[in-house]
Amino acid sequence: MRHQKKTVKLGRKAEHRKALLANQVCSLIEHQRIKTTLAKAKAVRPLAEKMVTLGKNGSIHARRTAFSTLRHKDAVKKLFDEIAPRSTERNGGYTRIVRLGQRKSDSASMAFIEWVDAAVVVEEKPAEEKKATKKEPKAEPKQKETKREEPEAKEKEAPGAEEPKKKRRWFSRKSEGEK
């Protein structure tokens, strides 16, 4: 039985697993949200929350401890300067895991892991732009139709113009006229 064996091994040796989790946390700090498998997201969560706790402490010792785990100066700086100060009121639960369903290739359960206090990025357009986007698809086919009509008009204007000769391709034994 696996009583009190908390480590999720993820099918990797210890050094590889530590490097993977450190890279995942650095990506989470940099991008505020990452898409990964559910098992990796669940393994990343405790490490990310420990790093935020160190960031809230803010001491030199906490910075050095975070750097020894993450091994990226920029990530540690952003963690201590931006992410940890947002979470001063919160006593834990700094991350959120959102399940996405299964990946098509291997049916692995996918998930987003993101900061709870991160600013929500919603890409909604104002009402005026929504109306304009509804009108644009109707206008585009008309433009395409006018482009199609232009070559036909040129052909009608110059009925005596010679057609360009068709080039013979190296792979065809017969000329195009014989087909």
Domains and CATH numbers, the chain: 14-115 (3.90.1030.10)
Question: Sorting pLDDT into bands at 50, 70 and 90, what band is 164?
Answer: low
Distance CA 99, CA 178 (A): 61
Distance CA 73, CA 63 (A): 10
Question: Sorting pLDDT into bands at 50, 70 and 90, what band is 169?
Answer: low
How is the beta sheet containing 109-115 ordered, strand by strand?
Answer: 33-37, 109-115, 95-102
Structural tokens at position 164 = 């360009």
Q: How high is the pLDDT of residue 77?
A: 97
Q: What is the mean pLDDT of the chain?
A: 82
Whether pLDDT at 137 is above 60: no
Distance CA 70, CA 18 (A): 9
Q: How high is the pLDDT of residue 59?
A: 96
For residue 32, the SS3 value is coil
Question: Cα angle at 27 between 104 and 113, to 5 degrees?
Answer: 55
Of 41, 57, 157, nearest to 108 by C-alpha is 41
Q: What is the largest CA-CA distance in the chain?
A: 90
Question: Sorting pLDDT into bands at 50, 70 and 90, what band is 48?
Answer: very high
Q: What is the DSSP string of 95-139?
A: EEEEEEEE-TTT--EEEEEEETTSPP---PPPHHHHHHHHHHHHH
Four-point Cα dihedral 111, 113, 116, 120, nearest 10? -70
Q: How high is the pLDDT of residue 160?
A: 58
Non-local (6+) Cβ contacts of 39 within 8 A are 8, 10, 109
Question: For residues 133 and 162, which has the higher predicted lDDT (pLDDT)?
Answer: 162
Q: How high is the pLDDT of residue 121?
A: 60
Q: How high is the pLDDT of residue 119?
A: 73
Whether pLDDT at 52 is above 90: yes
